[in-house]
Structure 1
Amino acid sequence: MLAYRDLTKEQLEEELLKQKEAYKEICAKNISLDMSRGKPGPDQLDLSMDMLDVFNSKSELKSENGFDCRNYGVMDGIPEAKKLMADIMGTKPENVIVYGNASLNIMYDTVSRSYTHGVNGSTPWCKLEKVKWLCPVPGYDRHFAVTEQFGIEMINVPLLEDGPDMDMVEELVSKDAAIKGIWCVPKYANPTGTSYSDETVKRMAALKPAAEDFRIYWDNAYGIHHLYDDEANQDQILDILSECEKAGNPDMVYEFASTSKVTFPGSGVAALATSKNNIEFIKKQMTIQTIGHDKINQLRHVRYFKDINGVKKHMMKHAEKLRPKFQAVITMLDKELKDADIATWTNPKGGYFISFDVMEGCAKKIVQMCKEAGMVLTGAGATYPYGKDPEDKNIRIAPSFPSPEELVEASKILIVCTKIATIEKMLDK
């Protein structure tokens, strides 16, 4: 098949009629698929069911330091949970606070705390005339929703193959004291699957921000979510906390992670890793906010996995479930769209998403057509602050929940809608 740009107007019109007929047939099937979020599939959730049998009525529910996990206390997490979460993030237990089930909740709290009480004694952001934030794009919609909630002005920064455009980041943070943070997903970024290079991590750690209260929000959500065995044997990305210390910026980073997609999304364990100074400041407010998080769940996770090696083995089971799903989508896209040369897509080595770029000005139309055909995708524009993709071209594909067979059908819908929207755009020119 020739690339669409090489077809005559008559050939394009003929192809459009053919694809519209295919779209009618799809709509008649009454398909119902929801691919709007990166939810683990039921087969993945089943992998952790044995965790529910870790305890019985006679189980010893004391942590390694002798604390009874059934009671109040140990606000920052039991020692063995701090060790496990530190190993997952590639840092040290003394840098870790263990929270409840959701890292997004920690991120929200951290922004909220900064807004109302400042950062380690600095002026609370609510008292400042303007607060700004750097947002690598395309990126994670829930990150953008948090900063938007607080009225923070978000600035787009292109996400390159090795991480954010660091030339732009360095220039912006060094000149503007109103810039207080940057969102980062350093490994298998949402939605592109990008992993930051060592150089990017080192440059990030060595930033010289104009604002003393500038912080890197390092969301290491997918650091252990490899899709292939060879990736699991490779080193993690550089430890951002250590790199910040080396660069003389020990307090400049907050790192977040959780077991939400490792065990049960609604009942995982989340953690924050940061410097001693940051931890002391945070814990002063935590003593007012909570008496402690779910230590039985923390202990359950440790007893189940035992150590980081147990986590890694478990993650390979997830990879076996996810790999065929990603491959089903990639195979269909390669087969039906590669020669047409009307879209590009990522082929990630880990994480939960595929980033799909179409002709400028077509993404919203494609997503709407997919919805009308029975398939719900993440809203077009969601991967950009304020839901506004300036080129209207990026679509996030979340293949984790449906079966491989369902994903073949889903891909057919996406492909037909992409072809129709692209040809109509081309004919309008």
Structure 2
Amino acid sequence: MLEKLETHITANFSFLKNAKLLIAISGGLDSVVLSKLLHKLNYSLAFAHCNFQLRGKESDGDEIFVKELAETLNVKVFSKKFETEAFAKQEKLSIQMAARKLRYEWFQELARTFQYDYIVTAHHKDDALETFIINLSRGTGIEGLTGIPERNGNIVRPLLSFTREDIHAYAKEQQLQWREDSSNASTKYLRNKIRHDIVPLLQELHPTFMDNFEMTQQHLRGSNAIIHDRIQQLKERLLEKVAKDYYQIEIAAIEQLSNPKAYLYELLKEFGFHHWEDVSDMLSAQSGKQLFSAHYRLIKDRTHLLIQKQSKDDKEQEILIKEIPTELKTPIQLHIEEVARITDTGKNILYVAKELLKFPLIVRKWKNGDYFYPLGMRGKKKVSKYFKDEKYSLIDKEHQWLLCSGENIVWIIGKRSDNRYKLTQPTNTIIKLTLH
């Protein structure tokens, strides 16, 4: 197995040769074999061991074993105890998911702090099969069936082409010692049930099942690459960047595709929208419907789907302008000054009569019932009607700031001013407002 691994790494992981590697080691069969193999191949190693404190003295015994192994191999070891059950309860996660989150966050912290190039884990072919079956049982897209990646960022898995049987045979041949996790024998966990009950049956039905599975995953990865290329082409054509962290997709363009719902799902995955039915239903949803992922929200507008990164809600924020000159930096960049005459003009510049203003001026978002007297028109108009006529999206409305004098709107900033505050007399003191 040593020679096979060396050949495999040379062909597929040549970047590991001169790298600093942090091995995720539990003390179990797989990680011990990985550690021994890489040590024999003279790689620069360190160990990282997590004590999740879930099996009492057994967990502590694993930690002691790993430290003794590190001492024997003259390898630096990092070890950390986690309050896993408390963390799972606090984050409302299963024990398995909590342990996974704690493990990988700590590994990345170690890699950053001590400048390890790669985190190496001992996942193998059987792990990939179990993950495939788990994802299949829960319902998944093609990515969920392509298996555990051999490399994901700085996480590398060089044993994925080897089976658990290969690893066990090597350990026996080399008379290696390792720790047995008693929880691995219990079938109350889904992965263990698949490992002990389902996989042996599949191998019994077809002796070359593991090889066939690996070939199938290669085909799936190839198909997924083709899908990825097609989606990238569509993103360039359909995903329009309106502003920073704000995108839109024209609904009519999606509906012209051969399978609109499938294409939409693929387009939105990178924004964290993974629930097929919710995403596909947005095409026929009423205007204004919203979906939320961890970091983005998806909004159905009249003609477009809008994708916006979520941020702190500043809808109720008000900024008071008590004196002139004033330079606002946030939430918008607005400069207010007194000038002697009108010079440059443009949609981002407004001149008003100071005598008509009531201080402090207020910069705020719009509210239901707001109205103004648009310059160049007779009578008043609701701001909501103005937004509709100007075809504002929901996000556009939320981003629009108003400059107010008391309860009156002076300027829909950068868009339309109010007739009541225009310059009417040569003797007016001129206030210039500039939106940067």
Structure with more relative contact order (C-alpha pairs < 8 Å, separation 6 or more): 1
User: Greater strand share, 1 or 2?
Assistant: 2
TM-score (normalised: structure 2): 0.28
TM-score (normalised: structure 1): 0.28
Of structures 1 and 2, the larger Rg is shown by: 2
